[in-house]
Structure formats: structure tokens, C-alpha cells
Amino acid sequence: MNIVFRGWGQEPAQYGRWTCIVMAAALADCVTSAHAQGQAYPAKPIRLVVPFATGGVTDTPWRIVSAKLAEDFGGQVLVENRPGAGASIGAAIVAAAPADGYTLLGTSSSHVMTGVTFRKLPYDSIADFVSVAQIAESCQALVVHPSFPVRSVAQLVALAKSQPGKLDYSTSGTGTAPHLYHELFMSISGIKMNHIPYKGISQQVPDLVAGRVPQMFIGVTVLLPFLETKRLVPIAVSCGKRDPLLPEVPTMHEAGVKGFEATLLAGMLAPKGLSPEIAQKLEAALKKIMARPDVQKGLQQVALNAVFDTGKNFDAKLKAEHAKWGKLVRDLNIQVD
């Protein structure tokens, strides 16, 4: 039993470099795949690609779950963080990998958001993947810096209407979940604010805490340490119901943004063509793991709700998210080249 975490700190400057990355990953898989032929799955280490930076809301659950998966399978689960380009770098690697169950994607519903905003992806976010299972859900909180003169969504809307296009908001990148959340917020509220995209949350949060940008949607996991020191102020949460860790904070809908609901769904995907037998074995293993009280407690401690669902249901949810955000992207003409 051995769990290895690998990080990759630099994002390719151009999508054209995907070719080298994907070909190298596919070649490595092909070299070893022959040794696993005819053996019970898994007969070699499982590579779990997480297309986000370490420590984020989507990375954390896989650090917990992968350890249990390695225990149950009696082998290795190699977790690789491949962040960048709205999680599409890691997704491209998995899409090009053999569909043998040894290269998997630990991602979130932001996977399909990227799929509708990026013009030149080397994969289809729905057709090129098999949904294995959902493992968790999480909310994002709309937060402001204490120096920003608003303490409610209503006040923010009023200020934005009095200064159209002048208020800044930051996100972890164009086409990411926080970006689309803000676009949905502005669309429903009839306001316009100025988008400040960052390359990732590790750069974005320090600027928010320092007051260089006034507001953003942030994972509750990331927010909690700053609540204790009162360096950030939450004014609403994105989900359809209040977050247990922020019981006094209203939902966006309750705060007056009627119809706003956005929940981040975390789950496992595999390359298309994965055999039903392997998919079912992985699904069964994840179902067992997510029922464990220690796993549920571990996720709750980082503001994640342990929510298991089958591959079939997770697939339906992702398709619904793809349709929802696809409509918003088309209506507002949001595209990333």
C-alpha cells in the first residue's frame, strides 16, 4: 500500500504543447499496459490525475479517498496534480490514455464548464469520458474584503448598479466555476462588474486578503481559516441550501438573486471505452469508501459533503450541468481561445 502525490507547478503557455504531454503520457501507459493483460484488476498502480493545484477544494477529497482506495485494492494509487487551463490540462491527459482503468480523472463539475467555454480543447468533456461515481459536493461562498463597503448581496448589487463596470471581482481563471458563478450572478441581477482573472487560487487569495481585489467566489474549505481572523467576510453561498459550516450566511437565492444555485460536484471519470466490469468495480469500491464514518468526517472537516452517487447518476448530473452552463456561455458569448 503506497500513495504518491506528484505536483506540476507550471502551466503550458500554449495549448499546442498538449500534444507532447498527452503523447508522453499515452506512451508510458502503453509500455506497461501489456503486463496487466489477463490479470485481475488492478494488477498495476492506478494513476489518478487531479487537474487542480494541491490543497484546493477538488484536490482535498482525492487525497482522502485515494488512500482508502489503495488499501482496499492492496496496491498503489499515484495521485498526480496537473493544474492549468481551467482543469483541461489534466483532462486532456486522461482522455488520451488507454481505457484500461489505470488512468483516471478525479475532477469536479468544473470539467464540463471548461468544456463549454474553451474553443480548442483536444477532447469532448462528455463524449470522451465515462462517469465512474460521484463522491462529494461543496458550496462556494461569495466573500468580500473587510474594507469593501458592502455586507450583503443587496448592497453589492446596489453599489454595482451605481458604478456599472467599475467594481472588480477576481476568479481563478476565465471559464472556471467561480467565473461562471459571477456571470450568472450578474445576469440575474442585471449588473456589470469587471473580471480580474488569475492563473490559480494560490495567486488569487493573497491579493483578496490584502485588499487588492474586493470580492470573489471561494470554496468554503479555503475560506474557513480567514473567517477566524476576520480577514474575509462571506455574504452568501452558492448552493441551494445553507452550508452547515456557515449557517448564518444566506444562499444567493435567499439574498435576492432568485434562481441562483450552483453546487460543485466532485467525482471520478475515466477515458471512454472503459469496460463495464472495471467501471462497476471502481464504483463499488468508492461506494464502500464513502460510507466510512472516518472518510465522511474527513471531508466534513474541510467543508465538503460526502455524497456518493452512481456513475449513471453522476453522468446525468454532468450532462445537466453541461446544458445549464452551456446556455449561459452562449447567451453571454463567453469563450476562451
CA distance 24 to 89: 13
Q: What is the pLDDT of residues 78-127, one digit of tens each?
A: 999 998 888 899 999 999 999 999 999 999 999 999 999 998 899 999 99
Q: Identify the bridge partners of residue 118 per DSSP, sorted by sequence position.
A: 336
Q: What is the pLDDT of residues 131-182, one digit of tens each?
A: 999 999 999 999 999 999 999 999 999 999 999 999 999 998 888 899 999 9
CA distance 19 to 107: 21
CA 204 to chain centre: 16
Of 102, 109, 99, residue with least CA distance to 130:
99
Encode the chain in three state secondary structure: CEEEEECCCCCCCCHHHHHHHHHHHHHHHHHHHHHHCCCCCCCCCEEEEECCCCCCCCHHHHHHHHHHHHHHHCCEEEEEECCCHHHHHHHHHHHCCCCCCCEEEEEECHHHHHHHHECCCCCCCCCCEEEEEEEEEECEEEEECCCCCCCCHHHHHHHHHHCCCCCEEEECCCCCHHHHHHHHHHHHHCCCCEEEECCCHHHHHHHHHCCCCCEEEEEHHHHHHHHHCCCCEEEEECCCCCCCCCCCCCECCCCCCCCCCCCEEEEEEEECCCCHHHHHHHHHHHHHHHCCHHHHHHHHHCCCEEEEEEHHHHHHHHHHHHHHHHHHHHHHCCCEC
- The full set of domains in the chain, from first to last, is 2-137+265-332 (3.40.190.150), 140-237 (3.40.190.10)
Q: What was the pLDDT predicted at 180? A: 95
CA distance 81 to 99: 20
User: What average pLDDT does range 284-289 have in this prediction?
Assistant: 98
Q: Sign (positive/negative) of CA torsion 217, 220, 224, 230?
A: positive
User: What average pLDDT does range 299-325 have in this prediction?
Assistant: 94
Share of the chain above pLDDT 90, in %: 72
Predicted confidence band of residue 38 (pLDDT cuts 50, 70, 90): low
Q: What is the pLDDT of residues 238-265, one digit of tens each?
A: 999 999 889 999 999 999 999 999 999 9
Q: What is the mean pLDDT of the chain?
A: 88
Strand order in the sheet with 264-271: 2-6, 76-81, 46-50, 103-108, 264-271, 129-138, 305-310
User: What average pLDDT does range 292-309 have in this prediction?
Assistant: 90
CA distance 142 to 150: 12
More confident residue, 15 or 209: 209
Q: What pTM was computed for the model? A: 0.84
CA 296 to chain centre: 19
Q: Which amino acid belongs to residue 119? A: R
Residue with cell 486578503: 209
**Is residue 190 left, alpha or beta, with left meaning phi > 0 and alpha meaning psi from -120 to 50?**
left
